[in-house]
Structure 1
Amino acid sequence: MGRPIDVCVGAMPAWLDWRRLLGPGSWHVVESDDGMLEAHSSLDRKAAADLSARLRGVGIGGTMLSLSVRPPLQRKELRKALAEEARRYRKGSKGFTQAATRVDAEGRYSLTPEALAYEMGKRAQGRRVIDACAGVGGNAIGFARAGCEVTAIEIDSGRLAMARHNAKVYGVADRIRFHCGDACEVVSDLEADLLFVDPPWGEKYDKQRVTLDALPPCEQILSSAHHIQEHWIKVPPSFDPSSLPGCRPEAVFGRASGDERRVKFLLLRKSGDSSPA
């Protein structure tokens, strides 16, 4: 087995499920001077290499994770771990599992995995939901499958047509009202208990730090929805929650074997404000 490797992972926000992220090991966690969490453990060489490969270039909550290993790993160990991590990544949580669904290029990288969309739907507990950036329908379908009444808004008519088709495939078209338009303009006229916003990130979003102003039209939609009781916003893992005061961040992990220790996105939850904007 060789000499154990001393591993230190830092810059983890206090709200992060670090046990899920780091995996097995006797971890000792302390709070650093900047209020972030730092975890220490001794791992065998393969486990240390796998962790290094998984956390390489990962930013969570507006800060890049830091990782140090002593003694250093060999390059061949890291190369092997990176190759294995790439293979695991290809076995990640699927967007849609039904073969008859229709997805465009943007949907292939932005679609909320089906299992996670359904899980969020169950947490909505049957409330009336507005999906303000519906895309090809992944989130709207998840809410509808869980028994919610959904209004799905999408500005692109082609993507909305895909969402309609996909909802029929999943047998929930009768639970979703589809609206082609700009959510910034129509949300203020709609009634619901929960506003869900999954703003377009772009495939090459900043892996170190993303703020609210980098996710148009999210800010405009939220400012038009003060009358809605609760807001949920799906944002990149690297989103800095301090750019949206009053939100409660949660790191959402994958559910498949290939991404169960990867943060897929952050779910921000925020109460609406009944006072005028």
Structure 2
Amino acid sequence: MNDPLASFAALRTDEGRALLASVRNVEPSQELAVATRLRRDHPAGLVSAALAQARLRQRAVVKFGAADAARMFFTPGGVEQSTRTSVATHRARRLRGLGTDGVRSVADLCCGVGGDAIAFARAGISVLAVDRDPLTCAVARANAEALGLADLIEVREADVTDVDTSPYDAVFVDPARRGGRGRIFDPEAYSPPLSWAVETARKAPRAALKVAPGIPHDVVPEEAEAEWISDGGDVKEAVLWFGTDTPAAHRATLLPGGDSLVSARAAMLPDPAVRPVGRYLYEPDGAVIRAHLVAEVAARVGGGLIDETIAYVTSDTAVSTPYATAYEITDQLPFNVKRLKALLREREVGILTVKKRGSAVEPEELRRKVKPRGAGSATVFLTRVAGAPTMLVGRPR
């Protein structure tokens, strides 16, 4: 089958579903033998499509969870570009609560395979999901049906720039940020461009625009709230919000706990002063760093920076904060591999965590050179202190 739509339709027949169920747990090393066996009784194209879909479902588990991924359908680009369920759920719940009466309908523009539409529907929001690719729309429609959400999700094949969004309480736009050569970093090279998405958002009562976490701060609209979201310590995305009760602000949200640090842009604190390394080192969450809220964390822990260009905060006191991981520092050394190796051998450190910020040395390279052995554990920070290459040794508080 050379027609992608026909191949996908065949997967949804009784024969296709049975094949999908039979290859659900096939490992890559087993695919050739399994394909050879199945082709005796099934069309070769259908067998190939089933095996490819099984691989996509296996890859999708990390984003959608095993239960949903096993029932959903995917395209290769759809798996790559879909929002992780935890992030989509956070965003959907926040959108649902905006305004006096809450958001009850949303136009999801550039919906992809429907990951965000599913989260919106599960939050009780009626969704118009729009994409211009016929196969993507077919997959999104199938996913709404597979998860029992077809009554809340209407999938429409159209160019998003032609869609009238005025009947909806909110607009959500997820522009394509990948091209033939990989990720796109220029917001105006998104498809559609960020400028179009912003103008569309400004016309809606409420809006959320999904953008790359590395978006330059100077392209964030003045009235928008910019939220950076991390999940398990990894920064996943940024969202530009319109119509919230915190306009012109920066926010860092940490999942799965949901802690949120927010500051109006006009009230953001200046960079903390540089000070000597104290007893504790605080490593701010990536979302905090992206949101330029390191100074707010430093104020909470009563600390300063170890270097004016490095986002490590140091303090003499231990303060619990969800926005940074605290380490107790035991040693401060100028960068010297031999001295570090001797120190780790003396303390019988075999479990070594290496972190770097402002250093060209790769953690694995350092691990190979120091050859840690023993039952003890330690964390080494390769960084700069007041401009000088430095190694800080410590342990999580």
Superposed pair shares fold, TM > 0.5: yes
Q: Which runs of 5+ in 1 are unaligned?
A: 1-89, 255-259, 273-277
Comparing 93-102 and 144-153, the one that deviates more: 93-102
What is the aligned partner in structure 1 of residue 210 from structure 2? 234
Secondary structure of the corresponding residue to residue 107 of structure 1: helix
Hey, which bits of structure 1, 4+ residues long, moved more than 4 A? 90-93
What is the aligned partner in structure 1 of residue 87 from structure 2? 116
What is the aligned partner in structure 2 of residue 82 from structure 1? none
* Deviation (angstroms), 1:91: 11
8 Å CA contact 1:191–1:228 kept in 2: the answer is no
Q: Identity over the aligned pairs, expressed in percent?
A: 30
* Deviation (angstroms), 1:92: 9.0
Cα deviations across residues 161-189 of structure 1 (Å, max 9, x unaligned)? 1001111122111001211101111135x
* Deviation (angstroms), 1:216: 2.6
* Deviation (angstroms), 1:215: 1.4
* Deviation (angstroms), 1:225: 4.9
Give the aligned residue type for 2:241: R
* Deviation (angstroms), 1:222: 3.5
What is the aligned partner in structure 2 of residue 95 from structure 1? 64
RMSD (Å) for aligned C-alpha atoms: 2.4
* Deviation (angstroms), 1:227: 3.0
Give the aligned residue type for 1:213: E
After superposition, residues 196-211 of structure 1 pair within 5 angstroms as: 196-202=172-178, 204-205=182-183, 210-211=185-186
8 Å CA contact 2:197–2:209 kept in 1: the answer is no
8 Å CA contact 2:71–2:147 kept in 1: the answer is no
Match of 1:152 among 100, 105, 129: 129
After superposition, residues 1-277 of structure 1 pair within 5 angstroms as: 93-95=62-64, 97=66, 98=68, 99-125=70-96, 126-188=103-165, 190-202=166-178, 204-205=182-183, 210-217=185-192, 218-246=194-222, 247-254=224-231, 260-271=232-243
Cα distance in 2, alignment partners of residues 219 and 229 from structure 1 = 18
8 Å CA contact 1:211–1:243 kept in 2: the answer is no
Taking a change above 3 Å as real, the CA distance of residues 95 and 265 of structure 1, as seen in their structure-2 partners, is same
Give the aligned residue type for 1:240: P
Secondary structure of the corresponding residue to residue 124 of structure 1: helix
Comparing 160-169 and 218-227, the one that deviates more: 218-227
Q: Which runs of 5+ in 2 are unaligned?
A: 1-58, 97-102, 245-397
| TM-score for both structures, normalised by structure 1 | 0.57
Secondary structure of the corresponding residue to residue 251 of structure 1: strand
| TM-score for both structures, normalised by structure 2 | 0.41
Cα deviations across residues 120-176 of structure 1 (Å, max 9, x unaligned)? 111122431110110100001100011001111111111011001111122111001
Cα distance in 2, alignment partners of residues 225 and 269 from structure 1 = 9
- Max radius of gyration: which structure? 2
Cα distance in 1, alignment partners of residues 226 and 197 from structure 2 = 19
Give the aligned residue type for 2:218: S
Taking a change above 3 Å as real, the CA distance of residues 250 and 93 of structure 1, as seen in their structure-2 partners, is farther
* Deviation (angstroms), 1:115: 2.1
Structure richer in helix, relative to its length: 2
Q: Relative contact order (C-alpha < 8 Å, sep 6+): which is higher?
A: 1
Cα distance in 2, alignment partners of residues 224 and 249 from structure 1 = 17
Cα distance in 2, alignment partners of residues 223 and 91 from structure 1 = 33
